[in-house]
Each structure stands twice: as structure tokens, then as C-alpha cells.
Amino acid sequence: MRPLLCVLVLGVALACGQTVPASPAPAGARDLPTVAQEVLSAIQNVKNHTSTLLKELDRKDPDRQAVQAGLAEALAQAKQIKKLIEELDAFYSSMPEAQQSALRRSWSVGMILNGCMEAAQDSLAEPSADVWSEVRSGLECARRRADQLEEVLSPFRRTR
């Protein structure tokens, strides 16, 4: 019953597009600009991985092992993005309103990004005559969500 309750609460939070602000960052924690830059770098890494994988899928006979390895790396980066967004939440109360809004929106886009990457990996694991098309669909979805997440988190970009 408890896991079901957790899922329902998470679903409501995602449906509302809001997060509950965390307590202030503990002493010794990294600062907001550093964490924000790491999130944006991780998003760029996912975009790079998906582009490389899509190029591999354009080949007549894609290398299954290369695709599996690339998917594993891209999925690890997508999960890292989720963790970094959670870390950003620790700074919620000290953020300007534009960043707070961006952080709230980033939760759902980050979850969808993870889902797209997992779908691509699951498609590769299943025996199917159309496996490459299914993997491509997951990767294209992930690429779109990474682009969207980068746009959503634009208030966190450093100005030079």
C-alpha cells in the first residue's frame, strides 16, 4: 500500500508541475551556479550521445554492441540529470522566481527524458524485426526532451 501511495503522490506532484521546496542547502554543499552548470553539461552530454547513436542507426547494419554501450552511457547521463535536478531543489527558496519556475517544469521533462532513454534501451533488449526503428523512436524522443529541458533550464545559464 505504501508504494502505491508514493506513486500517487508523485503523480499528483507531476500533474501539478510543482515540487515541494526542500530545506536550505546544508553547510559545505556546492553552490547553485556549479550545480546548474553541471545539469546543463549533462544535458549536452545526452544530446551528444543521442546524436552519435542516431548516426550509428543511419548505417546499413548498426553495431548492436556500440548501440548498447552508447545507450547505457546516455541513460546514465539522463539519470544523473535527474539527481542534479534534485540537488538544485535544495536551493529552491533562494532562487529568483524565473529559476523556481524553471526548476518546477524541469521535473516532468526530466522524467520524460528518462522514460525515452529507458524505452530505447528496452526496445534494444527485445527481439523484434523492427528493433532499430523502435530504438530510433526512443532516441528521437530523448533528443527532443533534452532540447526541451535545455530550453526550460535557460534561466540557469551563466551570463558572461
Place of cell 508523485: 10
Q: What is the pLDDT of residues 142-158, one digit of tens each?
A: 999 999 999 999 999 87
Angle 23-84-13 from CA coordinates, rounded to 5°: 60
- Domain limits, the chain: 30-154
CATH of span 30-154: 1.20.120.660
Q: What CA–CA distances, in Å, run from 113 to 26, 71, 146?
A: 29, 13, 7
At 71, is the secondary structure helix, strand, or coil? helix
The verdict on pTM exceeding 0.85 is: no
Residues of the chain where predicted confidence (pLDDT) is lower than 70: 1-29, 159-160
